Amino acid sequence: MSTLSRGLSSQFEVIWAVMLRETLTRFGAHSFGYLWALLEPLLMIFTFWVLMTIAHRPAPPGMDIFTFLCTGIVPYNLFTNTANKVADSINGNRPLLYYPLVQPLDLVFARTILEIATYGAVFIILMGGHALYHHHLEVDDALVASMGLLVAGLLGASLGMVLCMLGQYSKFVDRARGFIFRPLFWLSGVFYTVAHLPEKARDAVLVNPVLHCVELVRAGWFKSYHDTYVTVTYPLLFILVLGFIGLSLERAVRTRIELT
């Protein structure tokens, strides 16, 4: 084996081991741990379902309230949870860095893969459950919908990586995180679609890359919904830039990470 492939396989082993460990600590502590990953979006869907019913606001044409909310909340949660989990990846796993084989980026990658896999499964279970209940499944373009989810996860991971590395310089970053995420919830198209917004509002929310991910999931899932405003290149650009900044910061921060 060449040095490169040996290095790669050893890195995969480390990432795999960290993922298994994360699953144990996060979900294994309580037997209903994994259920929580399902319950959290379900509760949010239920809340907005009630709100929309009270407000007499129907789902956009061709969607019912459940699938409309599910295609909004799952990618949004995937983004925020990946960002938060990755931002905490060093602080939450510091003892592991005591093993020289485990490097900060392994922790970042392990959490990214785990979040995307978890929320991908949550999406399939929720939407699949709904389809089974109604004996009806119609997906316009599964690839576009999956890409929306994947891009949401990667966007969260790249932002989380920048926050994680900055957090090694200043504790303030961790406290400021909430201020970034709170307004994003209202700007990400979770309970409205871009096509039905007035033009001015539309231009404003289109600046937000998370909205593009949500819209991609919906455009991919629903035959009746066409979105001509969003592109996958826009969030990808964010991922590239944030990823570049995050990786550069990691190099700068390496010598500063303290184990004790």
Single out the residue of 42, 74, 78, 102 in contact with another protein (rule: CB under 8 A): 102
As measured in angstroms, the least distance from the Cβ of 29 to another protein is 7
CB of 16 to another protein, least distance (A): 7
* Shortest CB 9 distance to another protein, Å: 9
| Binding residue for another protein, selected from 1, 5, 54, 98, defined by CB under 8 A | 98
Q: Are the C-beta atoms of 221 and 67 separated by less than 8 Å?
A: yes
Q: Which two tokens stand for residue 120?
A: 């991908």
Q: Of 35, 50, 101, 240, which lies in the binding site for another protein, with binding defined by CB under 8 A?
A: 101
Closest CA to 187 of 215, 163, 160: 215
Q: Of 15-23, 81-89, 149-157, 216-224, which segment contacts another protein by CB under 8 A?
A: 15-23
The answer to whether 17 contacts another protein (rule: CB under 8 A) is yes
Q: How far apart are CA 114 and CA 177, in angstroms?
A: 21
Q: Using CB under 8 A, which residues numbered 227 to 256 contact another protein?
A: 254-256
Q: Which stretch binds another protein (CB under 8 A): 89-97, 108-116, 129-137, 238-246?
A: 89-97
Cβ nearer to another protein, comparing 25 with 233:
25
Residue closer to another protein, measured from CB, 11 or 146: 11
Any contact of residue 224 with another protein (CB under 8 A)?
A: no
Give the relative orientation of helices 65-87 and 209-221 as an angle to the nearest 10 degrees: 140
Query: Residue 165, CB half-sphere, CA atoms under 13 Å: how many?
Result: 23
Those residues whose C-beta lies under 8 Å from the C-beta of residue 232, and which sit 6 or more positions away, are 147, 148, 151, 212, 216
Q: Does 95 bind another protein (CB under 8 A)?
A: yes
Q: Which two tokens stand for residue 83?
A: 């960002």
Residues 6 or more apart whose CB falls under 8 angstroms from that of 71 comprise 63, 127, 145, 214, 217, 218, 221, 222
Residue 147 and residue 235: Cα distance in Å, rounded? 11
Site for another protein, rule CB under 8 A: 10, 13-14, 16-17, 20-21, 24-25, 29, 95-102, 254-260
